[in-house]
Amino acid sequence: MRGFLLFLLVALAIGSPVWSETFKNLRFKDGEDTVVGSVYLHLSGPDDPTNPTLWQGPLRITQNGKSCEARVSLVNAVWVADETDFAIVITENGSITYVQFVDMSSCAQKWPRLKAFTEDIKVLTDRLEILPGCSCDKMGAPCSCSAARIYKLQGDHAPALLGQASRRLTKEVLGVEFSGNRNVLHPKTPQARLVPR
């Protein structure tokens, strides 16, 4: 019996590989390449050459002597892990943030981009967290809020939305639980509540 259990545990471990990479938020300098393993990445057009926070783009990627350009603009972050074949590129356009998955060998979009109204985006070992965001125009009036979204990063498969974890994070940050977009009174306070539709 003990031998069978050991066999079963080994079979489960082999049959269910766990994907785990450590993504790094790359730091770019004007006119210089940033190197990750054997890959060279170059961003053009910093908003401030000495202390850049936004880059006009494009993003040039060079590996094994071949270069390509990802047509991304208004880039505020690029996340890469040593063994992945894609980069996570965060861009912005006005109040909207986009998460783009750029294939490192072709510079093409690996999966559809994600569009969000958010306060921040976090890239963790195997997850992408898009925090909720609210626009509050008048004191005492409901705010227009977007829920959090958490995606599981899983190697060569498109990121998968984790619905329950996303709702839980929305409640943790805003004080109410929902998906999508909702009007919220007093978000981020103990008095937070959803406005009926």
Predicted local confidence at residue 82, as pLDDT: 79
Q: Are residues 133 and 106 in the same domain?
A: no
In terms of Cβ atoms closer than 10 Å to its own Cβ (0-12, 13-18, 19+), residue 156 is exposed
- Give the pLDDT of residue 4: 38
Which pLDDT belongs to residue 9?
Answer: 36
Q: b/e per residue, 169-194, with b = 16+ CB within 10 A?
A: bbeebbbbbbeeebebbbbeeeebeb
pTM metric for this prediction = 0.85
Which strands sit side by side in the sheet containing 181-185, from one edge to the other?
133-135, 143-146, 181-185, 193-194
Tell whether 8 is covered by a domain.
no
Using CA atoms, how far apart are residues 197 and 193, in angstroms rounded to an integer? Answer: 12
pLDDT value, residue 21: 66
Q: Is residue 2 part of a domain?
A: no
Of 116, 149, 182, which closes a domain? 116
Same domain flag for 104 and 123:
no
Same domain? For 123 and 108 the reply is no
Domain final residue pick, 66, 89, 116: 116
Query: What residues in the chain have per-residue pLDDT under 50?
Result: 1-20
d(CA 84, CA 78): 13
Range of the domain at 49: 19-116
What is the predicted pLDDT for the residue at 10? 35
Q: What is the CATH number of the domain that holds 25?
A: 2.40.128.650
Residue at 60: amino acid letter: R
Residue 124: both structure tokens together: 């963790």
